[in-house]
Structure 1
């Protein structure tokens, strides 16, 4: 039983499979490579050894010094971890929010434009510092969702005001896809087609096994209010389909035929087979596992993606291929539990398959 009452706290699954709960009003905590916790609140962040209850490092404030937590609600993700690299570098990304005094101003009817910047921080760097980037659209109350091909989606929210009852204005209906990899020859941010529905305070988003994003809700009112208000309560659900679901990519989309349902640690090998109409190259293949998140108030707790190391590729028959893949190295990289596993080819993911990491 939780010993202390908390309001909008956040949580993370630990390497031993238990859940740690911290803070309130949606501070963000992430279980990092060596099992310690990264905790971010408004502008400040720390690295915490939760076993010893000891702060190991205090990170620089995020540039701009504008708050990123409720009611100036931004969002954050732990960017994908890559097991094929010699050294895994955990990196946090924080996007959006609202400038200081926005909440007070909004209660007085003055709705200040939201923050348009994102910050990236390599947590284990000997001298960590924030790298800042500009989104094409300012956003508060946005949701950041890791896509199965390693890209990241920013969806929902408003361009002005803050979180809270009646305090958001100018809905941002256009999702943004961000490509975090170093290969950004084509683009870094891409604006997607808009939704017809505002998704304001109390909206949410989550990844589905087929690669779509399920978006639901919106209620900026104390009670349900469906009529005679600027942004009515919306209990509907809709799905967003990223570009990789376009029919034009169907020929290079893998279709998993079989995969081991239980995957062990220590790089233990497992097998996966898939079909593919047009095979490009082994370098275009990835196997990614995504932990299911539990989301509220623009923060997807437990969200994590690990790109596993592919050891071998075999042509089993025409259009059918087999992969030998190494499981996660440690529980610090991928805490135990269920994950969606995706085979990815040329940035196009398969349907996800549920596997258990143990």
Structure 2
């Protein structure tokens, strides 16, 4: 029997659905906060299951490795660079690449730092051509890294020329013909045709365009700038964005709750407004869940980066089937500017950070993390994966051993996260087709690297109730 969940249909509803309840099976549940030694302005899920996080402002070289299983923190400070407001993503071999960083004021650095998850060591790679602060890093289908935007010495002075890093040769190449100034932290997504979508930024709305990296050309997709402080590609080519994108140095204004989707697999894609969130938010983060829904956490009802009194404590979950939001349980800490969130292999979401706006040791600094368990973790027994390969290849077959094969209804392939400033630069979900055997699943790996750029992913199996397993982490190349 074969099932393919890659062609989900969506319908538009008139109003968002709001649920008032307290049972975990309906609204999920937050664990008690865990004290951290740093504010996790930047956070990365490593192939080992550990979290690499670095701090902000003058503490930007301060980094910690956290083992969620043991609760142990290991100091892994960067010896080279203040990583505050750098861009980052995962390389195909599992290392974390961090591009840029901070010197002072609006001045960034040319440094490229690599973190090895096995040795727990930092190393310097070749320097970029341009010093960047607030850039975005994107893993391309061929394993190279695209870096766009970043301030270059003054407010709103945005680096116009993208660069591409080749980890095999340790060489950066400027895409001089693709000259286009983009504001801080543009939201960049590799599309199923291999081009890269620039959908918005965490700081300002922009015209939506796509970049052909090899041809070094930009093409306008939607000429109307559309707001959206956080974004996520919840299915290949389909992007959700919600809330307010706003520069924290600008005058304080009310946040918005607007939500938009775009389907880049259609012939003439345009942003389409869908029902709004229940809470207006700025400085929030969207996190893709194994069942294909999207969680929003954090943010506040104004663009005040330290406005904790207006913090949105309830989480919300967006359904791609109904395009509506449902209110979930409330966290106990306000998470505003510089907050982060990561999907974990156990299908919980780790929410961290917040603060470090004007310096260190501010009253609004959040030196903690908190786990959120979505409702699917309270719906009954979880399916289990008893055996899975450590690696797979494009178009290949992934053999999964599970005693729950007969009740599996979906398989999700989700890239390990690398998140800062309301955007996870790596997360993407690819639904995988599969056939059911006796105590096993034969799963079709992504057909090509446009769908899943090389690197490490979490493979979840989900039962007919949408309950996910603990993920198997595997490398695709």
Q: Does TM, scored on the shorter chain, surpass 0.5?
A: yes
Alignment-derived partner of residue 285 in structure 2: 143
> Which of 433, 440, 455 is matched with 1:309 structurally?
433
Task: Measure how far apart 1:221 and its partner are.
Answer: 3.7
Alignment-derived partner of residue 122 in structure 1: 263
Alignment-derived partner of residue 342 in structure 2: 206
Alignment-derived partner of residue 10 in structure 2: none
Query: Counterpart of 1:275 in 2: which secondary structure?
Result: coil
Task: Measure how far apart 1:234 and its partner are.
Answer: 1.5
Higher relative contact order (CA 8 A, sep 6+): 2
- Asked whether the 8 Å contact 1:143–1:298 carries over to 2, the reply is yes
Task: Measure how far apart 1:291 and its partner are.
Answer: 0.5
Task: Measure how far apart 1:34 and its partner are.
Answer: 1.2
Equivalent-residue separation in structure 2 for 1:292 and 1:238 (angstroms): 19
Alignment-derived partner of residue 376 in structure 2: 244
Query: Counterpart of 1:259 in 2: which secondary structure?
Result: coil
Matched, 1:299 2:423: yes
Provide structure 1 residue ranges, at least 5 long, that are not aligned to the other structure.
Answer: 69-73, 82-89, 107-111
1:66-121 deviation digits (Å, cap 9, x = unpaired): x44xxxxx10011223xxxxxxxx1111111157x996432xxxxx3201111111
Equivalent-residue separation in structure 1 for 2:377 and 2:257 (angstroms): 28
Shift in CA distance, 153/177, structure 1 to aligned 2, threshold 3 Å: same
Superposed, 1:93-108 pairs within 5 Å as 93-97=240-244, 104-106=250-252
Alignment-derived partner of residue 404 in structure 2: 276
Matched, 1:350 2:474: no
Q: Across the two proteins, how many residue pairs are aligned to each other?
A: 312
Equivalent-residue separation in structure 1 for 2:387 and 2:268 (angstroms): 44
- Asked whether the 8 Å contact 1:254–1:349 carries over to 2, the reply is yes
1:137-164 deviation digits (Å, cap 9, x = unpaired): 111111000011111100011111244x
Equivalent-residue separation in structure 2 for 1:335 and 1:39 (angstroms): 17
Superposed, 1:1-358 pairs within 5 Å as 1-24=127-150, 25-41=184-200, 42-62=205-225, 67-68=227-228, 74-81=229-236, 90-97=237-244, 104-106=250-252, 112-133=253-274, 134-163=276-305, 166=306, 170-181=310-321, 184=322, 188-225=324-361, 229=363, 232-246=364-378, 248-250=379-381, 253-266=382-395, 268-276=396-404, 280=407, 285-310=409-434, 312-314=435-437, 316=438, 321-346=439-464, 347-358=466-477
Task: Measure how far apart 1:168 and its partner are.
Answer: 6.6
Shift in CA distance, 11/221, structure 1 to aligned 2, threshold 3 Å: closer
Task: Measure how far apart 1:260 and its partner are.
Answer: 2.1
TM-score by length of 2: 0.62
TM-score by length of 1: 0.82
Task: Measure how far apart 1:36 and its partner are.
Answer: 0.6
Equivalent-residue separation in structure 1 for 2:475 and 2:357 (angstroms): 40
Task: Measure how far apart 1:123 and its partner are.
Answer: 1.8
Shift in CA distance, 169/128, structure 1 to aligned 2, threshold 3 Å: farther
Provide structure 2 residue ranges, at least 5 long, that are not aligned to the other structure.
Answer: 1-126, 151-183
